[in-house]
Amino acid sequence: MTKSPDTPLKFLVFLGSARNSTPPKPPRLGLRVARACITEINQGIHVAELVDPLDYELAPSFKPHFAYAHGKAPTQLESLAASIASADGYIMVSPEYNHSMSPALAHLLNHFGSSLFSYKPSAIVTYSAGQWGGVRAAVGMRAFLSELGCLPVSAMVHIPKADEVLGEDGSFLGSADAQGWKQYFARTFTQLDWWASAARQQRAMSNSQAPVPAFTKAPSQRNTP
């Protein structure tokens, strides 16, 4: 279905933490970061939905959505696949675990093929309890998200000592420079908004036909002859 230009843009906010343990404290610092993203992207214009890895019961043996016959994947995977396909862009919220992106986020995303994400932009938002804000995770996320087809916009959000910046409800704490943080988020989310609007128009013009078809059987379909 082609969306009219007036239909609000829909963004999925992927939360990259499934951690339910302390120490280190606090657990699931990412939840407040994801909530802040929803507030900052929304601004009463767009639709932003949280995707929480804890809501998905993924089988211990890995079988991605695209490995099932069409429409035959478990209900939760089908439902998330439909949501990814209907979104205009993605906000990927990740902590830094051992200088890398969240394994929970990578695992959830690996369940879906690039054709669902392609021709739409993404924004990288990282955080940490320490002083670097997850920048080392963000470097790897650029490559990951590019391969997934949802090219990350150039600006990124990094939040060091996120528990000193955000309260549990995702609002900026009184001790934080709320105005400065809002402007910082806005830089990335303005780029995301711009590219998401542009990509939606281009998808509508190409009648929802992907200019390059997704490979269907094996990655070798895109290799050199």
Residues 29-58 that bind ligand FMN (CB under 6 A): 29-30
The token pair at 225 is 């002859």
With CB under 6 A as the contact rule, which of the stretches 17-25, 57-65, 142-150, 202-210 interacts with ligand FMN?
17-25
> Residue 14's closest CA among 45, 42, 55, 46?
55
Build a one-symbol-per-residue string for 176-205: x at contacts with ligand FMN by CB under 6 A, - elsewhere. ------------------------------
111 by DSSP, 3-state: which?
coil
Task: Provide, rounded to whole angstroms, the least separation between the CB of residue 184 and ligand FMN.
Answer: 18
155 by DSSP, 3-state: which?
coil
Q: Which amino acid is at 160?
A: P
Residue 19 binds ligand FMN, judged by CB under 6 A: yes
Task: Provide, rounded to whole angstroms, the least separation between the CB of residue 87 and ligand FMN.
Answer: 22
With CB under 6 A as the contact rule, which of the stretches 57-65, 66-74, 122-130, 214-222 interacts with ligand FMN?
122-130
**Cβ proximity to ligand FMN, 56 vs 97, nearer residue:** 97
d(CA 101, CA 53): 14
Environment class of 160 (CB within 10 Å of its CB; exposed 0-12, middle 13-18, buried 19+): middle
Contact 203, 117 (CB under 8 A): no
> Which of 11, 17, 109, 157 is in the footprint of ligand FMN by CB under 6 A?
17
Q: Which residue(s) pair with 157 in the sheet? A: 125
Task: Provide, rounded to whole angstroms, the least separation between the CB of residue 144 and ligand FMN.
Answer: 16
Build a one-symbol-per-residue string for 78-117: x at contacts with ligand FMN by CB under 6 A, - elsewhere. -----------------xxxxx------------------
Task: Provide, rounded to whole angstroms, the least separation between the CB of residue 139 and ligand FMN.
Answer: 12
d(CA 10, CA 216): 27
Task: Provide, rounded to whole angstroms, the least separation between the CB of residue 105 and ligand FMN.
Answer: 10
Residue 24, phi then psi, degrees to nearest 5? -75, 145
The token pair at 57 is 């019961």
Q: Which residue(s) pair with 159 in the sheet? A: 127
With CB under 6 A as the contact rule, which of the stretches 27-35, 39-47, 70-78, 143-151 interacts with ligand FMN?
27-35
Contact 138, 106 (CB under 8 A): no
**Cβ proximity to ligand FMN, 161 vs 182, nearer residue:** 161
Enumerate binding residues for ligand FMN (CB under 6 A). 17, 19, 24, 27-30, 95-99, 128-130, 132
